[in-house]
Amino acid sequence: MSFNFLPNTALAACVNDAGEIFTYAQAYNGELVEIKGKLAGNPATYEVTGDQTGIGLTKESGSAPAKRFTPLAAINSKSIYYNAKRLVFFVDKQNYLRDIYFNGTKWVEGELYDQRWQCAPYSKLAAVRLVNHGGYDFVCLYYQDTSETGNIVLVNHSPTYKWQTGNPPLDDPPLVGTALTAVPPQPGIEVIRYNSPTDTDDPVVFFQYDKLELGSSQDQGPNDYATYSINDKTITLSAHSAITAVDDKTNFWAFYTTDLQNQIFRLKVDASGAVTQPQPVVLPNNPIPGSSLASIIVKGSPDVVVLFYLLHYEPVKETTQEINVFAATLTAKSGGVDAWDVNGGVCLTAGNSSLSDSGSGGGDDGNPGGDHDGGDDDGAMVASLVGLGMEVMTMGVMTGLEMTTAFPLTGMRGRTVGAVADLLDIRRMDAGGLGGFDYCGFAFALMME
């Protein structure tokens, strides 16, 4: 079954012990949709293994309807809600927190709504699963409350106490409407409370401060929380940056979007707490500005991260009239360095196809595969447009960069912007972002004669 997805739908993803990967998005009618995938091949890359499946919660159904543009979070589970396999968290029209779970046969509403916890209308969600020594699941769910400062609230579920509130809200203050992402505790990022230094069992939630810095709930004192300094101010988080994170129990990686053509960057924190400065994640095309990200990590030899994002593009029909979910596979390089091969551009929601210029051997250091330097195809496109009675407007960018002919939606490749490429010390940057993309992130204009 094929769905028409909401522009800038929220995304969520989880992976189970069998290596099955589940991705969630929202269709235009409000229904939540599940897409199944896995890693396959050598080297392993993400592939879709099943059709898109509606999980039964539409705005018309009257059964726990998700509001349009609901935030989403998802976790794998073993021992919650009577053999629940996986849980999805969302928000209804009254902004009450709700959850549904798959019990092996069907989707069933959980018990979260019984608490009548209400989040802010702009709140995002983050969820993380912890497992105790007895093998039982504990779930932690984060959201922003309805206070003026949008405090970040933790609620959790345990086999004994069911749903209950957690630690006091985080109020440092966060950015109103910040993205939220959470990982289990690990050396380097564990929450060490100034008044209880041996209590390190809490997961760590990452968010954006009101000053737009990346922060976390790692406690630095009675009125302070951790921030992660980015030295190069051209690649800091954009306002309302998309943020997603994974950890391998030794290292932590946060992925976020910047003002630089909505380019994705990756920041690492190791077990000592040392921060490795952000590196670009070069994709065939940058995600839609303002859209969300989701990620999962699969431990192995080597480790693999799958990063999910949205594009206003359908690669089979080559049309820009659809919103689709894409996946990039990041494979850790050998030698213990923070370097990853990137295989990007797999479309989950439109024929399960790949972007033609994905460059399967491309790295994330600013040099993906494929030729994106333009050529005769561009000239042919211009001639075709003029022949159709349309004239092309070349627009100067008001930042001191080179003049750029911008065709984000026509199939023409962007012109090189040398100033930014020099600034980032990379070999090439097209108008669409780092590494040479088919789409240009700048404005464009086509004027009818």
Q: Do residues 412 and 381 lie in contact, with contact meaning Cβ atoms separated by under 8 Å?
A: yes
Amino acid letter for position 356: S
Distances 190 to 203, 215, 219, 273 between C-alpha atoms, Å:
7, 13, 9, 9
Give the type of residue at 416: T
Distances (CA, A) of 222 to 142, 193, 225, 300, 413: 20, 8, 9, 39, 52
User: In this structure, are residues 2 and 54 in contact, taking their beta carbons and an 8 Å threshold?
Assistant: no
Inter-CA distances, 195 with 5, 165, 189, 224, 307, Å:
47, 20, 17, 13, 37
| Buried-exposed string 392-412: b where 16+ CB fall within 10 A, e elsewhere | beeeebeeebeebbbbbebeb
H or E segment and range at residue 420? helix 418-424
Q: Model-level pTM greater than 0.85?
A: no
Cis peptide before 173 (omega within 30 of 0): yes
| Cα separation, 365 vs 345, whole angstroms | 17
Residue ranges of the domains in the chain? 12-347, 376-448
Report the CATH architecture of 12-347.
6 Propeller (2.120)
List, in sequence order, every beta strand (DSSP E) within 212-291. Answer: 214-221, 224-227, 243-247, 252-257, 264-269, 275-281
Q: What's the rounded Cα separation, in Å, for the pair 88 and 71?
A: 10
Spell out the SS3 assignment of 350-396: CCCCECCCCCCCCECCCCCCCCCCCCHHHHHHHHHHHHCCEEEECEC
Task: Give the Cα separation of 186 and 204 in Å (integer).
Answer: 9
Full pLDDT tens readout for the chain, 449 residues? 678 899 999 999 999 989 999 999 999 989 999 999 999 998 899 999 988 999 976 555 455 589 999 999 999 987 777 777 899 999 999 999 999 999 888 888 889 999 999 999 999 999 999 887 777 888 999 999 999 999 999 999 988 889 999 888 888 889 999 999 999 876 655 554 444 434 446 788 999 999 999 998 876 555 567 888 899 999 999 999 999 999 988 889 999 999 989 999 999 998 888 899 999 999 989 999 999 999 999 987 678 999 999 998 877 778 888 899 999 999 988 766 678 999 988 999 876 556 644 333 445 544 333 333 333 333 333 333 333 333 333 333 333 333 333 333 333 333 333 333 333 333 223 333 333 333 333 333 333 33
- CA 374 to chain CA centroid, nearest Å: 30
Give the pLDDT of residue 406: 34
